[in-house]
């Protein structure tokens, strides 16, 4: 881990994002109790609508207290006085001097962020099973149920957007059985774009906005919605730039394992923008700048000889040690789930357009050309993403109990072999940390194909 | 002819247990390892029990329970091990609220009505072996430790290796890789016991078990599983004097109840 | 033996259909496929409602991971191994791919792709608000156009009204079967046969009902009454026999093969006043309170329905009633809400056995123990 820590402190934006992610509970408490804002539970990247409607979206795990060491709190306090860049530079400077105590602290930063989140995920997984969800479901759903059982009563509403996964939709239905308090706001996405489906989806989005208005007691104007979409678009642009212009390039601003670690952090935090869209926008844009600046100065690592391994899907649960293992085996892991699912598309904000309709188009596009309603479309999305990333290989995480994404693997394997002619393999996954040895063996055999 | 005694036979996948009860007291009992021939073992144990206690067939009522309850044709009646364990634990602990039974083939959690003493809810493991006595046997074999010493070995370690696999087959390979990484036998044994306790406690919590909770079945003799179950549940649990006999005792008691009114 | 004869009769029936130039459309999706539209277009709708076994589930693993719904696995197994008694599957002309559940999508997509059966798409929304109902009509229009393109014949309103009426009448008769006081296994066989054959079975159904009414059964007093809910018991599955072996008798099938299908009757006044028959199918979709595909009120409605039946039954019959919630392993819909259903019903004093299982025969011992233990609890 120290190798990663060496690198990560160079990106003060990453420190900020990690800090904001882990200390979400205090931020959210302040918003809810002092500022009387409404909290809305979101999963998957559907938070734009909640932000646009003037509420605070939260990916439920962030309502938990994370067991972080005091130093991260100190860093947070120090940053409020000196600024994150100064704190980050200071840490880097001390580390370079070789002061062991500080060195250890810096190592711990990244360990805290990744391990603490994963530990909490696993804790939620166990709680989910104890509280009603059958162990037959995927890691993601079990953990989500755990999150709602433990902290779901703190939110004022849940934004429930239906997708192709029937288990996910039924999980959304179960939320009111888990906690009676929160209002359930639904957006049903038509499965296909036929006839006037966009108009119908626009109605659904408009109705959801009305429900948000009832929740907050405030009227939401089109301009307010557009204002948020503009911020969201900036986030998505930066995220896409990092994916296409940096992760797919041959020179990284840091070592590839660190890079993947950052991408994993983005994947988690993008779901709710750490509950503060402008702050998240500033951080992700700063991250892009910091990365580009290092590349411009020639600081980083030439990764041209490292095979690009597209690792997917990760959002329902995946083994976070994968990128480190792939790095040690001479490759680099690329993560791009949200782009694959077309969740990084920008939403037009022209003053002549209807923002509810534009959001409906965004959702329909994600359904039609991202996750798809059938496996043909979904597998095409994987192929497109692998092509766009110029991937040399594809690792598919086949989640135990996932009947939506995982079931497409047979078709995907056949298409990858036929159309891309690159190596691919599936790795079964049940719970973080389970069978890491087996993952190592599988990845070892897979990476040998690139020698 | 008036019945003099009630016999309960619990034909489990790993062991067959038989008890003789008369006037509410446990008079005699036997335990033998089950083989493929459930019927023969049942007959032999039954005949032996009658002979040693100087009883005729007509003087006793035989109630069978357990995995092989339907295979023994001489039984007068049958009852499932769920109902039998619930009744049997009340013989030792009249105020029992919940039961966890870990047998060779499966594990069960049972909640008993305080008012009626009857079962109000239960849960069994699915067909997977994790969370059963079989899981412990496979793991003890992988560590080359006799099964009756396995729990004591686990308790010698003050830290537990992390065994996260829920599948017996995967867990076995996980144990091997833990060895390769230099974990001690005690740590691994402790991890295995914790894993089974976590799984069974998770299942039990789903139906709202609570104190007083009685742990029975063959695995209840294993001190490590008991200790870790207590840690997972957050309270102390009781183990009867003969934890493997509660099913057979329950069957005999039900026979007595059904035939004395 | 009953199932074997049912399948062999079905095989002959379908062969005869084919010989008369009728095309067969098969599908997995339970509630939402508009069979009236298929019928009006001159097709025969064949529901895939066949249970599985170890061999069929194993055979599916070339296509899907083992953690897929056991019913879905078995459907693929049927196509990939094609046992003799299921040779009629070769007669299928089209397969409908729908999104009733995600396993349905995957399985029907695989069957269509790997076994070269042309595919028809029919997707349904998850909610039932006004926009969703309008969307449902769009799908109906798409399917109608597709069917007309295949046959080259227009599906007239008249034809569609006729089919709607035909299925309506059939379901009215079928509804009576669930109320008959006969052995659950016998009732199930009749329900299965009727749902496979469709309205053509109506005369036999009427005769059967008449016969039972004239010859009431007296063998049911000793068994324990069960309301059966959750996943249906499909053809070739012995679960109902296991329940009877354990001492139970299913008196009401609160499942798709049972009240869920037969209750979907469009009221006569709507039929008389509605100009566009497709709107009647939309109405049927809207009024279908049993559709486990839909959100967000499925659970509440299910709890209310079971509670009503329970109260009425125990009051009028003076007998205890158990509830078995059948969960086919890895079924998204039934499994995810099962613990919540059980909790809600138990709060109302109704005990529930959540019976989770796959089609493995090796598991039947444990399955019987769970059933018997639940029946003992009812004592």
Q: Do B124 and C372 make contact, defined as CB atoms within 8 angstroms?
A: no
Rounded CA separation A445/A255 (Å): 22
In this prediction, residue B1 carries a pLDDT of 67
Q: Which of residues 317-376 of C touch B (CB under 8 A)?
A: 329, 339, 346, 351, 356, 360, 362-363, 365-366, 369-370, 372-373, 376
Q: Which of B105, B121, B126 sits opposite C356 (nearest CB)?
A: B126
* A441 shares contact with chain B (CB less than 8 Å): no
Query: Hey, is C279 helix, strand or coil?
Result: helix
In this prediction, residue C12 carries a pLDDT of 96
Q: Could you tell me the two tokens for B193?
A: 């016991």
Q: Could you tell me the two tokens for A92?
A: 């880097």
Lookup result for tokens 């009852």: B79
The answer to whether B245 touches B17, Cβ cutoff 8 Å, is yes
Q: Do C123 and A192 make contact, defined as CB atoms within 8 angstroms?
A: yes
Q: What percent of chain B has pLDDT over 90?
A: 67
What is the residue extent of each domain of chain B?
A: 1-93+242-261, 94-239
Q: Do B205 and A431 make contact, defined as CB atoms within 8 angstroms?
A: no
Rounded CA separation C288/A180 (Å): 25
Q: Could you tell me the two tokens for C138?
A: 């769009």
Whether C350 shows a pLDDT value over 70: the answer reads yes
3-state helix, strand, coil in chain B (%, to 5): 45, 20, 35
Rounded CA separation C73/C61 (Å): 8
Whether B44 shows a pLDDT value over 90: the answer reads yes
Give B127→chain C minimum CA distance, Å: 7
Lookup result for tokens 């052995």: C183
* A118 shares contact with chain B (CB less than 8 Å): no
| Number of separate helices (H) and strands (E) present in chain C | 16, 8
> Both C153 and C220 in a single domain?
no
3-state helix, strand, coil in chain A (%, to 5): 65, 10, 30
Which DSSP string do the residues of B142-159 spell out, in sequence order? HHT--HHHHHHHHHT-SS
Q: Do A373 and C123 make contact, defined as CB atoms within 8 angstroms?
A: yes
Rounded CA separation A348/A345 (Å): 10
Query: Hey, is A281 helix, strand or coil?
Result: helix
The tens place of each residue's pLDDT in chain A, 451 residues long, gives 334 445 555 677 888 888 899 889 999 999 999 999 999 999 999 999 999 999 999 999 999 988 765 556 666 666 666 666 666 666 665 555 555 555 445 455 665 677 788 889 999 999 999 888 988 899 999 999 999 999 999 999 999 999 999 999 999 999 999 999 999 999 999 999 999 999 999 999 999 999 999 999 999 999 999 999 999 999 999 999 999 999 999 999 988 988 998 999 999 999 999 999 999 999 999 999 999 999 999 989 999 999 999 999 998 889 999 999 999 999 999 999 999 999 999 999 999 999 999 999 999 999 999 998 889 999 999 999 999 999 999 999 999 999 889 999 999 999 999 999 999 999 989 889 887 888 998 899 999 999 8
* A406 shares contact with chain C (CB less than 8 Å): yes
Q: Do A131 and B173 make contact, defined as CB atoms within 8 angstroms?
A: no
Q: Do C125 and A191 make contact, defined as CB atoms within 8 angstroms?
A: yes
Nearest CA in chain A to C292: A170
E strand map for C231-372: 248-254, 321-328, 352-357
The answer to whether C6 touches C236, Cβ cutoff 8 Å, is no
Q: Which residues of A touch B164 (CB under 8 A)?
A: 431, 433-435
Q: Which residues of C touch A403 (CB under 8 A)?
A: 67-69, 101-103, 106, 330, 332
Which of the listed residues C133, C157, C181 is the one where a domain comes to its end?
C157
Rounded CA separation B127/C367 (Å): 10
Mean pLDDT computed over B137-164: 88
Q: Which domain holds residue C19?
A: 2-157
> Both C196 and C295 in a single domain?
yes
Whether C97 shows a pLDDT value over 50: the answer reads yes
Secondary element (H or E) of residue B119: strand B119-124
Q: Which of A174, A192, A373 sits opposite C340 (nearest CB)?
A: A174
Give C152→chain A minimum CA distance, Å: 22
Q: What is the mean pLDDT of chain C?
A: 94
Give C181→chain A minimum CA distance, Å: 35
In this prediction, residue A1 carries a pLDDT of 38
Question: Which residues are within 8 A (CB) of C99 and not within 5 positions of it... i.e. 6 or more apart?
Answer: A164, A166, A191, A373, A374, C29, C105, C123, C124, C293
In this prediction, residue C219 carries a pLDDT of 64
Nearest CA in chain C to B110: C373
Q: Which residues of C touch A192 (CB under 8 A)?
A: 121, 123, 139
Please, which chains are in contact with B (at least 3 CB pairs closer than 8 A)?
A: A, C
- For A378-413, give one letter per residue: b (16+ CB within 10 A) or e: bbbbbbebbeebebbbbbbbbbbbbbbbbbbbbbbb
Give C363→chain B minimum CA distance, Å: 7
Q: Do B206 and A129 make contact, defined as CB atoms within 8 angstroms?
A: yes
Give C260→chain B minimum CA distance, Å: 28
Q: Do A403 and C68 make contact, defined as CB atoms within 8 angstroms?
A: yes
Q: Could you tell me the two tokens for B90?
A: 């009340």
Q: Do C296 and A186 make contact, defined as CB atoms within 8 angstroms?
A: yes
Question: Alpha helices, DSSP H only, in A24-138?
Answer: 24-29, 47-52, 70-82, 84-97, 100-111, 117-130
Rounded CA separation A309/A324 (Å): 12
> Both C134 and C196 in a single domain?
no
Q: Do A188 and C126 make contact, defined as CB atoms within 8 angstroms?
A: yes
Q: Could you tell me the two tokens for B4?
A: 């003099």
In this prediction, residue A4 carries a pLDDT of 47
| Terminal-residue alpha carbon distance, chain C | 33
* C377 shares contact with chain B (CB less than 8 Å): yes
Rounded CA separation C71/A9 (Å): 52
Query: Hey, is A55 helix, strand or coil?
Result: coil
Domain count, chain C: 2
Q: Could you tell me the two tokens for A70?
A: 């005091």
Q: Read off the CATH number of the domain in which C300 is found.
A: 3.40.50.11900
A330: buried, middle or exposed (CB in 10 Å: 19+, 13-18, 0-12)?
middle
Give A408→chain B minimum CA distance, Å: 24
Q: Do B162 and A433 make contact, defined as CB atoms within 8 angstroms?
A: yes
Q: Which of A291, A305, A286 is nearest to A7 (CA)?
A: A291
In this prediction, residue C371 carries a pLDDT of 96
> Both C214 and C141 in a single domain?
no
Rounded CA separation C308/C290 (Å): 14
Q: Which of C248, C262, C239 is nearest to C177 (CA)?
A: C262
Q: Do B174 and A437 make contact, defined as CB atoms within 8 angstroms?
A: yes
Interface test with C, best of A136, A180, A316, A411 (most C CBs within 10 A): A136
Q: Which of A130, A431, A433 sits opposite B202 (nearest CB)?
A: A130
Question: Alpha helices, DSSP H only, in A193-321?
Answer: 197-216, 222-241, 256-269, 277-297
Q: Which residues of C touch A398 (CB under 8 A)?
A: 65
- Topology match between the domains B1-93+242-261 and B94-239: yes
Rounded CA separation C112/C377 (Å): 46
Q: Which of A201, A205, A159 is nearest to A183 (CA)?
A: A159
The answer to whether A370 touches A340, Cβ cutoff 8 Å, is yes
Q: Do A435 and B205 make contact, defined as CB atoms within 8 angstroms?
A: no
Q: Which residues of A touch C339 (CB under 8 A)?
A: 132-134
Q: Which of B164, B173, B205 sits opposite A431 (nearest CB)?
A: B164
Q: Which of residues 129-158 of A touch C (CB under 8 A)?
A: 132-134, 136-137, 141
- The domain B1-93+242-261 having CATH identifier 3.30.420.40: the answer here is yes
Question: Alpha helices, DSSP H only, in C320-363?
Answer: 332-347
Rounded CA separation C132/A188 (Å): 8
What are φ and ψ of residue B99, in 5° steps? Answer: -130, 135
In this prediction, residue A73 carries a pLDDT of 66
Q: Read off the CATH number of the domain in which C98 is found.
A: 3.40.50.11890
Prediction pTM value: 0.92
Give B88→chain A minimum CA distance, Å: 27
SS (H, E, C) B176-233: HHHHHCCCCHHHHHHHHHHHHHHHHHHHHHCCCCCCCEEEECHHHHCHHHHHHHHHHH
In this prediction, residue B228 carries a pLDDT of 96
Question: Which residues are within 8 A (CB) of A193 and not within 5 positions of it... i.e. 6 or more apart?
Answer: A364, A367, A368
Query: Angle at the Cα of C217 (from C212 to C222), degrees rounded to 5?
Result: 150
The answer to whether B214 touches B59, Cβ cutoff 8 Å, is no
Please, which chains are in contact with C (at least 3 CB pairs closer than 8 A)?
A: A, B
Give B194→chain A minimum CA distance, Å: 14
Confidence of residue C4 (pLDDT cuts 50, 70, 90): confident
Nearest CA in chain B to C368: B80
Q: Which of C97, C101, C338 sits opposite A166 (nearest CB)?
A: C101
Torsion sign over Cα C2, C8, C9, C11: positive
Q: Which residues of C touch A402 (CB under 8 A)?
A: 67
Q: Do C346 and B121 make contact, defined as CB atoms within 8 angstroms?
A: yes
Confidence of residue C1 (pLDDT cuts 50, 70, 90): very low
> Both C129 and C56 in a single domain?
yes
**What's B94-239's CATH class?**
alpha beta
């Amino acid at each position: 881990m120290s190798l990663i820590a060496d690198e990560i402190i160079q990106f003060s934006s990453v420190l900020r994002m990690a800090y904001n992610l882990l200390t979400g509970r205090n931020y959210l408490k302040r918003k809810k109790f002092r500022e009387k804002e409404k909290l809305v539970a979101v999963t998957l990247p559907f938070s734009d609508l909640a932000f646009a409607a003037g509420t605070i979206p939260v990916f439920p795990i962030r309502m938990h207290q994370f067991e972080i060491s005091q130093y991260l709190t100190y860093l947070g306090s120090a940053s409020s006085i000196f600024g994150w860049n100064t704190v980050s530079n200071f840490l880097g400077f001390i580390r370079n001097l070789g002061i062991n105590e500080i060195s250890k602290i810096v190592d711990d930063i990244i360990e805290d962020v990744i391990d603490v989140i994963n530990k909490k995920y696993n804790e939620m997984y166990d709680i989910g099973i104890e509280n009603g969800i059958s162990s037959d479901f995927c890691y993601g759903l079990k953990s989500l149920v755990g999150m709602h059982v433990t902290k779901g009563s703190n939110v004022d509403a849940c934004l429930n957007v239906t997708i192709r996964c029937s288990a996910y939709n039924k999980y959304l239905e179960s939320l009111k059985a888990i906690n009676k308090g929160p209002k359930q706001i639904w957006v049903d996405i038509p499965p296909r774009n036929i006839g006037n489906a966009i108009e119908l989806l626009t109605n659904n989005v408009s109705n959801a906005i009305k429900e948000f208005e009832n929740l907050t007691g405030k009227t939401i104007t089109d301009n307010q919605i557009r204002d948020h979409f503009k911020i969201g678009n900036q986030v998505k642009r930066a995220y896409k730039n990092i994916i296409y212009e940096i992760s797919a390039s041959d020179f990284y601003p840091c070592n590839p394992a660190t890079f993947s670690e950052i991408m994993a952090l983005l994947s988690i935090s993008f779901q709710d923008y750490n509950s503060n869209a402008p702050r998240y926008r500033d951080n992700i844009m700063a991250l892009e700048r910091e990365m580009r600046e290092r590349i411009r100065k020639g600081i980083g690592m030439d990764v041209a000889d490292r095979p690009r391994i597209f690792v997917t899907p990760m959002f329902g649960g995946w083994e976070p040690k994968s990128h480190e293992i792939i790095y040690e085996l001479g490759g680099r892991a690329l993560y791009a789930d949200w782009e694959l699912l077309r969740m990084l598309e920008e939403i037009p904000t022209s003053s002549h357009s209807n923002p509810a309709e534009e959001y409906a188009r965004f959702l329909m596009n994600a359904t039609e050309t991202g996750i798809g309603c059938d496996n043909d479309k979904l597998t095409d999305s994987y192929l497109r993403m692998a092509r766009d990333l110029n991937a040399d290989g594809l690792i598919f995480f086949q989640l135990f109990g996932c009947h939506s994404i995982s079931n497409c693997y047979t078709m995907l394997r056949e298409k990858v072999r036929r159309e891309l002619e690159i190596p691919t393999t599936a790795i079964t996954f049940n719970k973080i940390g389970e069978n890491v040895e087996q993952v190592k063996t599988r990845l070892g055999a897979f990476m040998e194909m690139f020698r | 002819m008036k019945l003099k005694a009630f016999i309960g036979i619990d034909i489990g996948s790993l062991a067959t247990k038989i008890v003789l009860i008369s006037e509410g007291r446990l008079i005699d009992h036997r335990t033998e390892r089950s083989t493929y021939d459930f019927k023969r073992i049942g007959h032999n144990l039954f005949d032996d029990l009658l002979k040693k206690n100087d009883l005729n067939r007509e003087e006793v009522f035989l109630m069978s329970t357990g995995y092989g309850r339907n295979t023994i044709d001489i039984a007068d009646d049958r009852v499932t091990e769920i109902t039998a364990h619930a009744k049997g634990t009340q013989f030792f602990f009249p105020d029992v609220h919940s039961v966890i039974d870990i047998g060779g083939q499966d594990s069960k959690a049972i909640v008993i009505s305080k008012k009626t003493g009857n079962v109000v809810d239960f849960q069994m493991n699915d067909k997977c072996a994790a969370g059963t006595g079989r899981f412990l046997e496979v793991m003890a074999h992988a560590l080359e430790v006799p099964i009756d010493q396995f729990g004591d070995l686990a308790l010698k370690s003050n830290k537990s290796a992390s065994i996260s696999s829920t599948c017996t087959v995967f867990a076995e390979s996980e144990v091997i890789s833990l060895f390769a990484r230099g974990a001690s036998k005690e740590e691994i044994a402790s991890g295995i016991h914790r894993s089974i306790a976590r799984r069974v406690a998770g299942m039990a919590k789903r139906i709202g078990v609570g104190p007083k909770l009685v742990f029975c079945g063959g695995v209840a003799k294993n001190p490590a599983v008991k200790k870790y179950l207590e840690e997972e549940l957050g309270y102390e649990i009781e183990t009867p004097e003969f934890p493997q006999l509660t099913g057979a005792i329950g069957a005999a008691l039900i026979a007595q109840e059904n035939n004395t009114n | 033996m009953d199932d074997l004869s049912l399948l062999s009769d079905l095989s002959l029936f379908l062969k005869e259909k084919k010989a008369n130039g009728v095309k067969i459309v098969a599908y997995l999706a339970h509630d939402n496929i508009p069979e009236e539209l298929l019928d009006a277009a001159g097709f025969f709708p064949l529901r895939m409602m066949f249970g599985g076994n170890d061999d069929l589930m194993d055979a599916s693993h070339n296509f899907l991971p083992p953690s897929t719904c056991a019913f879905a696995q078995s459907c693929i197994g049927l196509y990939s191994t094609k046992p003799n008694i299921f040779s009629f599957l070769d007669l299928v002309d089209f397969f409908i791919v729908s999104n009733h559940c995600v396993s349905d999508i995957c399985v029907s997509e695989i069957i269509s792709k790997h076994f070269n059966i042309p595919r028809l798409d029919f997707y349904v929304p998850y909610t039932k608000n006004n926009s969703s109902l309008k969307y449902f009509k769009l799908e109906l229009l798409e399917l109608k156009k597709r069917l007309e393109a295949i046959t080259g014949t227009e599906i007239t309103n008249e034809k569609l009204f006729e089919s709607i009426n035909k299925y309506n009448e059939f379901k009215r008769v079928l509804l009576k079967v669930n109320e008959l006081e006969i052995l659950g296994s016998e009732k199930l066989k009749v329900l299965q046969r009727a749902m496979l054959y469709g309205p053509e079975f109506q005369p036999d159904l009427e005769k059967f009902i008449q016969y039972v009414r004239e010859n009431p059964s007296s063998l049911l007093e000793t068994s324990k009454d069960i309301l059966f809910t959750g996943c249906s018991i499909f053809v070739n599955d012995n679960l109902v026999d296991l329940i009877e072996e354990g001492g139970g008798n299913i008196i009401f099938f609160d499942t798709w093969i049972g009240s869920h299908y037969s209750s979907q009757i469009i009221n006569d006044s709507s039929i008389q006043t509605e100009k566009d028959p497709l709107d009647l199918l939309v109405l049927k979709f809207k009024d279908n309170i049993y559709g486990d595909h839909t959100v967000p009120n499925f659970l509440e409605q299910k709890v209310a329905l079971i509670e009503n039946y329970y109260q009425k039954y125990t009051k009028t019959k003076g007998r205890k009633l158990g509830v078995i919630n059948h969960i086919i392993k890895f079924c998204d819909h039934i499994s995810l809400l099962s613990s919540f259903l059980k909790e809600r019903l138990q709060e109302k004093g109704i005990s529930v056995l959540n019976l989770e299982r796959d089609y493995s025969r090796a598991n039947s011992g444990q399955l019987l123990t769970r059933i018997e233990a639940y029946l003992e609890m009812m004592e």
